[in-house]
Structure 1
């Protein structure tokens, strides 16, 4: 390898490391919101009979807080497996749309790199990754998506989620109902901040609004976790119809 190639390789490696660190630093404010509702989820799971390692396995393999809260909400003994699976698939179906928006930025990657990148995708990393791409455009004015920044951000969020849901499961029986501490408000607060950062006007926010109204109506009228499914479905249908009009 020539001296030029060695220098280029070192520069690329340094840039990648810097971008990973930039993503990790950008994750810090979001982590403060992750911690409380990760503890709440872990505590709720332990109160439904899940063991600590089962909570760690669930949150590590299914990186989607909304679907996990919904699954725990309808968890019974014995669990209704197919109902939980269907609920998880429907709530996480928004990831199909999220993945489609990332596809143009990942299409140059081999599957062995693209699929792990999508595995670590969550609402926060997706929103922040795309927002960063819009802010850092190339010389042609096109969005520049930094995969290293996105992965640094995503890995920090994923590890924090696993650690603190597991901790919540371990200490949940001691603390009792964490809702009494108001920790569950962190879930709503994080998404309000994300919505503010992605705000593109009232028209673009209508699917969010219909999703919110539908979820609130179901929450008030129908017991259980069905409001999560209803809100998700309403948002997806509204976004589809709005795009077709």
Structure 2
């Protein structure tokens, strides 16, 4: 990464961009809170301690893999299966990181690596949309690090707090999924996908992965739907690329 071209923004610019990021993420944050409460409650019902859950959600900022880990949790836990499924669910971060990397080239590693630590689906989508707008407006650099940290740190703190609160009050509430909290996660993703829509052709791998995973979920035991959904989506991408 080129370090010599990076110039730190002034303190007023940094706070302005940080606040812009923190306010931009508010609509997503509202959808994340019930999602975090649900994860915390489910983790408590599976026997995970509050401290263990907080450490997991704080160090592994990826809700999909955390739900997969909690769903697979048992006593004693099958750690190999949990780790492998979590890695597979999080493998999408390889593609997300690769797409974000060109926007980080001007940053020193001491700032780029923490940015990647806080990367999640929501932060990535909002940042890419903002970078696209800034580039179209002729702003250089297109990537605003302070904007990114404003939305990323805010969402991370809310996620950590909501999962912790869910774990604390979950045992007294019972199954809170009956209130529809589990719909918050897909609702947030549908909004993000709408912002990234580039036509039907680009959506075909998503559809293939969705249908394959859904079929596997209802017909195969365990977490087989996770690798099936990922692999079929990748196969669709390869086949579409070969025909292009």
Q: CA deviation at 1:241?
A: 4.3
Unaligned runs of 5+ in 2: 1-6
2: CA distance, partners of 1:95 / 1:240: 19
Select the residue among 47, 50, 54 that pairs with 1:49. 47
Between the two proteins, the alignment pairs up a number of residues equal to: 237
**For the residues of structure 1 that align with 2:90 and 2:79, how far apart are their CA atoms?**
16
1:156 aligns with 2:154: yes
Provide the secondary structure at the position in 1 that maps to 2:54.
Answer: helix
Q: Match of 1:167, SS?
A: helix
Q: Please list every run of 5 or more consecutive structure 1 residues that lacks an aligned counterpart in the other structure.
A: 1-7
1:244 CA displacement: 5.0
1:28 matched to 2:1? The reply is: no
Q: Deviations over 1:195-228 (max 9, x none)?
A: 1010010111112111211221122112434333
2:63 alignment partner, one of 65, 82, 85: 65
Q: TM-score, normalised by structure 2?
A: 0.91
Q: Report the alpha carbon displacement of residue 130 of structure 1 after superposing the two structures with TM.
A: 0.3
5 Å-filtered alignment, 1:88-237, equals 88-137=86-135, 144-237=142-235
Are the equivalent residues in 2 in contact too, given 1:135–1:143 (CA < 8 A)? no
**In 2, are the aligned partners of 1:70 and 1:226 still within 8 Å (CA)?**
no
CA contact 1:125–1:154 (8 Å) conserved in 2: yes
* TM-score, normalising length: structure 1: 0.90
Report the Cα distance in structure 1 between the residues aligned to 2:160 and 2:92, rounded to whole angstroms. 21
225-234 or 206-215, which deviates more: 225-234
Deviation at 1:72, TM superposition (A): 0.9
Q: Which ranges of 4 or more aligned residues in structure 1 deviate by more than 6 Å?
A: none
Q: Which moved more, 1:216-225 or 1:137-146?
A: 137-146
Corresponding residue of 1:4: none
